[in-house]
Structure 1
Amino acid sequence: MHDALLIDRAPLGTGLFCETWTLNDPASRNALTDALVDALLNACTRAQSDTALRGVVLRGAGGHFCAGGSLGGFAKAIGQPLDAGVPDPLVPLNRRFGSLLQALCDLPQWLVVAVEGAAMGGGLGLVCCGDLVLADAGAQFGAPEVTLGLMPAQIAPFLVRRLGPAAARRWLLSGIRSGAVAAQQAGLVDEVIEGAMDGAVQAAVQRLATTAPQAIAATKHLLLQVQSALPLPALLDDAAHLFARALRGPEASEGLAAFTARKAPPWNPAA
């Protein structure tokens, strides 16, 4: 039996690492089974307290990213009404995937999503969590739920965050597929890769490895706050506290000293 999620930990420098999390069920185009969702949630929980981990690359095995949710656990419920007064077991199952998307967005490390082949339904939701999204030129994106008599329940808020309400509405209500270039134009994809994805991922990791880890974590927190319903004065207050904490911390001292001396800061692998 194969592992639903493969985790490869590679060194970036002395005591610093980047992990690649690979969705690992090529036969199903890496469909989101309960086991895969649990494995990803566990990986996110561990990463939250891993101070040596600088970043994560999320990708799929076998030439595809993720074909969406697996209906295996829901098969017996399809078309079957629920008895009156009985809690629906489908609710927590579906909600758990939303918890995963939130956990991926909340990672204090940078998250690179590398898409090859299909990124559909729940796979599209995973893409929306990336800080940097790379897509092979032949990649395909879509939310086909409404064409199947379903709804994109947990991914909808994340697609709205990523694309904005109007573009998300077009994607979610049409069920159409979009290629990599169209996805880039919509704001879902950051870079379309014409060559080898491995080289593009490595180049992205090298760029991001020059950033300071605590500064990345604080900036990601602030960006999530911007997307919340927090009133602007409260948001700016939070930003001021984050800035003061960063300026008084060791990273600012080391980073500014390195800049003055024209040297690489200690978190940069080139240091």
Structure 2
Amino acid sequence: MDTLLIERQGDVERWTLNDPASRNALSDAMVLALYEASLRAQADATLRIVVLGGAGGAFCAGGSLGRFAVAIGQPLAPGAHDPLVDANRAFGDALHALTALPQLLVAVVDGAAMGGGLGLVCCADRVLATRRSAFAAPEVTLGLPPAQIAPYVWRRLGDAAARRCLLSGTRYAAEEAQALGLVDAVVEEQALENALQAVLTQARAAAPAAVAVTKRLLQRLQAPLPDLRDEAALALAAALRGPEAAAGLQAFARREPPPWGQTAGGAGA
């Protein structure tokens, strides 16, 4: 199964995260496909717009631990190279490549955009969402840092809103995400395609080379983001092997509050 479906429609490509059974969680294969598609698109002068969405009633559930699940809570052997670092750095590379697209990037969110999925949304130039969509960076509630996505969430939301989002794991409904500035427009599910077509029509009024130059200038106008990809990958790998992640993810699987979410008497806070 292709984890990223790519459909060309004239000067538009639709990229669809395609693993509905996992709510389109970011597997290694999906991350690599996003990265390679972004590099190819950067060199395609005939492509004007990229539309990123998810299959099966979800946008993206976040990172998939997959084959690394056995490493959770397990210290790394002295001197060993940690494969968790490489996997997370690869996701950082995909985010970096998406942000560097010279084309207009439109995220179409129908359903949950969690963790890494929120990071993908924050790379977009325009974001459409249905009313049933929800957004969160729940990593800290699981004992993990939202390491690779933090710079992109910070740039999209600004410092204060990014801190509220990243340091609390708060879940935002579509209208709340619009108020934050994360989402540009919220529509009913059945109106999503019409809303997207309206965005595409408006986008075609802008010359593609001018759009590419403007995106580059806007990135330079903002305070340059430090390249945290290596540091973020190391931080997440260390957290996954630590005790908080083991306790947090175990509690999540059991639908129980994590140890730090309990009162002294043991009841959930």
Q: Secondary structure at the match of 1:220?
A: helix
| Per-residue deviation, residues 206-239 of structure 1 (Å, max 9, x unmatched) | 1101110110000000111122349xxxxxxxxx
Q: Within 1, Cα distance between the matches of 2:86 and 2:161?
A: 28
- AA partner of residue 108 (structure 1): P
Query: 1:138-177, aligned counterparts within 5 Å?
Result: 138-177=132-171
Q: Within 2, Cα distance between the matches of 1:221 and 1:215?
A: 10
Query: 1:38-49, aligned counterparts within 5 Å?
Result: 38-49=32-43
- AA partner of residue 221 (structure 2): V
**The 10-residue stretch of structure 1 (60-69 or 70-79) with the greater mean CA deviation from structure 2:** 70-79
Which of 18, 22, 28 in structure 2 is aligned with 1:34? 28
Tell me the residue number matched to 1:74: 68
Tell me the residue number matched to 2:94: 100
RMSD across aligned positions (CA):
1.2
TM-aligned CA deviation for residue 22 of structure 1: 0.4
TM-aligned CA deviation for residue 87 of structure 1: 2.7
Q: Secondary structure at the match of 2:48?
A: strand
Count how many residue pairs are aligned between Structure 1 and Structure 2: 224
Query: 1:1-271, aligned counterparts within 5 Å?
Result: 2-11=1-10, 17-194=11-188, 195-229=190-224
TM-aligned CA deviation for residue 71 of structure 1: 0.9
- AA partner of residue 24 (structure 2): N
C-alpha change, 1:229 and 1:203, in structure 2 (3 Å) is closer
| Per-residue deviation, residues 30-77 of structure 1 (Å, max 9, x unmatched) | 000000001111110110111110110000011110010101132121
TM-score between both structures, scaled by the size of structure 1? 0.80
Q: Within 2, Cα distance between the matches of 1:92 and 1:35?
A: 13
Tell me the residue number matched to 2:249: none
Question: Larger relative contact order (C-alpha < 8 A, sep ≥ 6)?
Answer: 2
- Higher CA-based Rg: 1
TM-score between both structures, scaled by the size of structure 2? 0.81
Q: Within 2, Cα distance between the matches of 1:59 and 1:96?
A: 20
Structure 2 unaligned residues grouped into runs of 5+: 226-269
Structure 1 unaligned residues grouped into runs of 5+: 12-16, 231-271
Tell me the residue number matched to 2:229: none
